[in-house]
Chains A and B, each alone.
Chain A
Amino acid sequence: MTTTLFYIFSTVTILSSFFVVFSSNPVHSVLFLIFSFFNVAVIFLLSDAEFIAMTLVIVYVGAVAVLFLFVVMMLNINEVLVKEGFLKYFPLGLLLMSVFLTELIVVFKDLEFIRGNNSGISISNLLDQGQENTKSIGLFLYTDFFIIFQISGYLLLVAMIGAIVLAYDNQLSVKSQSILKQKQVKKDDIIKLK
């Protein structure tokens, strides 16, 4: 049952990822992207990783993809320009893709290697201890992975500073309203009776 469901959802994921690249309308691309995120979330659910599935839906579908959608709608990208070099670069892309695919097929041929090995923190390991995986992720995140968690916080700080540095403009060219100045204006400054 699980295997059948896995194959169905992964096929749909791959198909919708193809549509992300090939659909002519950018808005459709983003919608297909959201669709493929949903499918990946289901695949995570099938492998008992409900926390990651929910995070994927909330973060990627709820925030990132919707942001993409807004950006795409605001930018109003010219479709003809985007597709311009497509035929020119297609053969090279196809070549690279086939090289990549052969490589991966060769790699995953010795799959038995993975099955025999179950060290590290795999999800099934955690479930054996009778823990919900949300709880175990929490436990690991704040103990063993404490430093990684801190560095991610630091990374977000950098992102915040960077966004402000690159977007904030305190030059005079910005026309903004200063309420303090507006309130200090006296009648005599602006109206002159002669």
Chain B
Amino acid sequence: MFVIPEIFLAICAVVILFITPFLKKNSYLTISYLSLLVILLSQFLILKDIFYSEIIFNGFFIVDSFGSFLKSLILIGAGLIFYFYLTVNNPKSLKRPEFAIILLISIVGMLLMISSNDLLSLFMSMELQSLSLYILVSFSRDDFTSSEAGVKYFIIGSLSTCIFLFGTSLVYGLVGSTSFNEISVFMSNLYSTPTMLIVGLIFILVSLSLKISAAPFHMWTPDVYQGAPSIITTLLSTLPKIAAFGVLIRLLVYPFGEIIVDWGKILIILSISSMLIGSLGALRQTDLKRLMAYSTINHIGFILMGLIPGSEDGITSICIYLIFYITMNLGIFLFILNMQRDQVSVTSIKDLSGLYRSQPLTAGCISVILFSMAGIPPMAGFIGKLIILNIVIDNNLFFLAVIAVITSVIAAFYYIRLIKSIFFDDPLEELDNIGSDHSKYMLCGFAFFNLTVVFYPQFFLNLCASVTLSLFAVK
């Protein structure tokens, strides 16, 4: 029997919410374990029907293997984040049962976003996801920076919603429907593209760029990443990006696929400016979380390049890059979550200095992941970058490839500066040892994955190629 994982997850979240009052105080651990179990079950539901494809709920949602793949990627990430939450030393303000429930609900929103097949359902699920994220960002409300980040994120998010709705209204006014199928039919019967449709699409693209924090719509990213509790920054930098990319790919390739000439140019500008700002902006940062924000912007620019040709290979390469991107980011953030001195979290780059002397194993793992982010050859990050650059060059976009390589070199500078500080600088004050064995093993796992992907890249290529097929089968 076919059960839609989103509905299962949504119902379970409500059930868990109603269990909470009957538990004793400090029941957050029980709730988190339950949430982890629910996530595993829905992962199973997705994997069971990964090659199933159908349009459901009167055309509002679609189930296909591309969506299922991204959804299972999100659920893996969510499971790992719950695992981090359970094993690291969290600040007291996060130890509340509501945390896990809101996180679950935001994941429901992300899954719905990926399977949306209509601008209306897309809007609703995007709101579900972002509303939960606003709450999570300002979760430790006694902390000034967290509240500030929450307000900033909320204002930018509301602006993004307004822009999205305005774009949708223009598209609806012209097409007479918000369904992706109807828009696609309308587009294929056109002699010339009306300006209104392009402007509508631009507005929708701007709003989605705000979601994936592509420059020049990146301004909120460093502030929010720095202010939010570290575990939420881990979430923000990985899962919503996958969801927004899923939406972006589905929207651009399927209903608006006919006007690739128009949105291709916009994506070129977005990706060039993201790569430049992501690499240049990070040079003078002193806070590790802020640095990771710029690093995210840089990676987003890279991923956007894969979408410019709008071809099957391009989207395959995006899927591969997304897999590697979340493993790298989760690895780095697992370390940031464990960065403490005398039980107090620190996030300054200076605190990294001399880490090699006190904790050689951790230092080694971190540098492997940082090398991978910089795109040094045998690591996972290099393979992702190689595949995307290959696509770009195949489509004769040489200037884009040149800019990508140059910005990668600049970005490599600040990653390697971190490694230099870990290995060669004199330690100021030693950081606490990573307390739990779980974190240590996980960190080793991430480093191991990043090191050994080079032996079996074909597996990921085949996997991603087979799931992107479904996206183009609809046409």
Chain A residues at the B interface, C-beta cutoff of 8 Å? 103-104, 106-110, 113-114, 117-120, 122, 144-148, 151-152, 154-155, 157-159, 161-162, 164-166
Contact = CB atoms under 8 A, between A and B. Distances in A.
Nearest to A162: B135
B60 A158 contact: no
A55 to B, nearest CB: 17
B17, B134, B173 interface centre (most CB from chain A within 10 Å): B173
B182 A120 contact: yes
Nearest to B106: A158
Contacts of A154: 10, 105, 108, 128
A148 B60 contact: yes
A146 to B, nearest CB: 7
Contacts of B121: 147-148, 151
A44 to B, nearest CB: 15
Interface string B85-99: 000000000001010
Interface stretch (B193-201, B278-286, B321-329, B343-351): B193-201
B240 to A, nearest CB: 15
A113 B196 contact: yes
30 contacts: A107-B196, A107-B199, A113-B194, A113-B196, A117-B174, A117-B175, A118-B176, A119-B182, A120-B172, A120-B182, A122-B176, A145-B58, A146-B58, A147-B61, A148-B60, A151-B125, A154-B10, A155-B131, A157-B14, A157-B105, A158-B128, A158-B135, A161-B17, A161-B101, A161-B102, A161-B105, A161-B135, A162-B132, A165-B98, A165-B135
B132 A165 contact: no
Contacts of B105: 154, 157-158, 161
B415 interface: no
Contacts of B124: 148, 151-152, 155
B194 A147 contact: no
A155 B127 contact: yes
Interface string B68-80: 0000000000000
A118, A122, A154 interface centre (most CB from chain B within 10 Å): A154
A162 B10 contact: no
A161 to B, nearest CB: 6
B58 A106 contact: no
Contacts of A148: 60, 120-121, 124
Given A103-B199, A107-B195, A161-B135, 14 more contacts: A106-B195, A110-B195, A113-B196, A114-B173, A119-B175, A145-B58, A148-B121, A151-B125, A154-B128, A155-B128, A157-B105, A158-B105, A158-B135, A162-B135
Nearest to B96: A165
Contacts, number: 88
B168 interface: no
A9 to B, nearest CB: 20
Contacts of A104: 199
Contacts of B40: none
B455 interface: no
Interface in B158-203: 170, 172-177, 182, 194-196, 199
B419 interface: no
Interface string B243-255: 0000000000000
B174 A114 contact: yes
Contacts of B61: 147
Contact of B138 (A113, A144, A146, A166): A166
A109 B177 CA distance: 21
A77 to B, nearest CB: 16
B242 to A, nearest CB: 20
B2 interface: no
Given A120-B182, A148-B121, A158 B195 contact: no
A141 to B, nearest CB: 12
A103, A122, A146, A147 interface centre (most CB from chain B within 10 Å): A147
A144 to B, nearest CB: 5
B112 interface: yes
A154 B108 CA distance: 10
Given A117-B174, A161-B102, A146 B57 contact: yes
Nearest to B185: A119
B174 A113 contact: yes
A145 B121 CA distance: 9
A164 B96 CA distance: 12
A145 B195 CA distance: 30
Contacts of B175: 117, 119-120
Interface string B449-470: 0000000000000000000000
Contacts of A113: 174, 194, 196
Given A155-B131, A158-B132, A162-B135, A147 B57 contact: yes
Nearest to B198: A107
**8 closest A-B pairs by CB:** A120-B176, A119-B176, A162-B135, A120-B177, A147-B57, A151-B124, A107-B196, A165-B98
A6 B124 CA distance: 31
B139 interface: yes
A139 to B, nearest CB: 13
A193 to B, nearest CB: 39
A72 B134 CA distance: 23
Interface string B129-150: 0011011001101000000000
